[in-house]
Structure 1
Amino acid sequence: MLRVSRLTDYGTMVMSHMARSPEQLFSATDLAAALGLGVPTVAKVLKSLARGELVTSVRGLRGGYSLAHPPEQITVADIVDALEERPFGLTECSANDGLCGIEDGCGIRAGWLSINDLVRRALEGMTLADMIRPLPRREQRIDPNSIRITRSISR
């Protein structure tokens, strides 16, 4: 099964919580309590998000963290990039060239690269503002059977 890391999931939770009140300052303790997470975990996530320039920190007694950009300008891809230790990729060869000894003659690498590109574009197309919107009613949701994947591999 393809999954994002636990830290990336927590980072998305933290950022989504902050996006509901984008002007507010949040402490790691308050975020941890609101989300049911450990303070050390939230602190680690916030430090990575700050390095990725997605949140800003304010020091002092009334300090905390706030979003560095409006929720409409932060994508899920931005969050993944800030929290994952390696470049985005569903497989090793779709993240980095030259890591596999059979890469040049691989018969499925082009397919993985296409899938990787589709997933990356989906992450780039979903903003933090989108993440906090309520789910549409069941009949308004996208039918997975209606999605068509077209092949666009250039050689």
Structure 2
Amino acid sequence: MLRLNRMTDYAIVVLGQMAQDVGRVRTAAALADSTGVPVPTVSKLLKQMAGAALVNAHRGAKGGYSLDRPAAAVTVTDIIQALEGPIALTACVDGAEDSCEVERCCPMRGNWNRVNQAIRSALDGVTLADMLDPEGMFPVRTPPAGLHAMPPAGAAE
């Protein structure tokens, strides 16, 4: 099963809160309070995201972290890669640190990169703004006039 870890999910929650007021410096404690994510988790996330230049760290008495770009400029790819590393379904990717024992004779060598690139491209098309407005991303569609829904199987007409 392909699954993102819980920290990535929390990161989207924290970034979503920060996107409410782009450029505002907030502490980990304030973000934890407003999101319900525990302070140690928020602190860890902010450090990782600052290291990946997703958020900016501010030192000093009025220090903290800020998101200095709009939510529409932060892709889901940016978030995942900041917390989980390169997007890949398998270790069979160009530049992977783990080498495969059968790489030299593998008929799939290099083919997984196409799959990984397709997933990366799809995630590049989804932004933090989209995640904050799922109805805008996936609007409810109504059938065209004149068409009506089929009754459920076995329903009396």
The answer to whether the Cα contact below 8 Å between 1:53 and 1:68 also exists between their aligned partners in 2 is no
Q: What are the ranges of 5 or more consecutive residues in structure 2 without an aligned counterpart?
A: 143-157
Letter in 1 for 2:32: A
State the partner residue of 1:80.
80
Distance (whole Å) between structure 1 residues aligned to residue 83 and residue 34 of structure 2: 21
1:52 and 2:52 matched: yes
Q: 1:97, CA displacement in angstroms? A: 7.3
Letter in 1 for 2:60: G
1:94 and 2:96 matched: no
- What RMSD, in angstroms, separates the aligned Cα atoms of the two structures? 2.3
1:18-33 matches, within 5 Å, as 18-33=18-33
The answer to whether the Cα contact below 8 Å between 2:23 and 2:68 also exists between their aligned partners in 1 is no
Whichever structure has more helix as a proportion of its residues is 1
Query: Could you state the TM-score of these two structures normalised by the residue count of structure 2?
Result: 0.75
Letter in 2 for 1:99: S
The answer to whether the Cα contact below 8 Å between 2:26 and 2:66 also exists between their aligned partners in 1 is yes
The answer to whether the Cα contact below 8 Å between 2:92 and 2:110 also exists between their aligned partners in 1 is no
- Indicate how the Cα distance of structure 1 residues 109 and 13 shifts in structure 2: closer, same or farther if over 3 A, else same: farther
Comparing 107-116 and 67-76, the one that deviates more: 107-116
Between the two proteins, the alignment pairs up a number of residues equal to: 139
- Identical residues among aligned pairs (%): 42
Q: 1:98, CA displacement in angstroms? A: 6.6
- Name which one, 1 or 2, has greater alpha-carbon Rg: 2
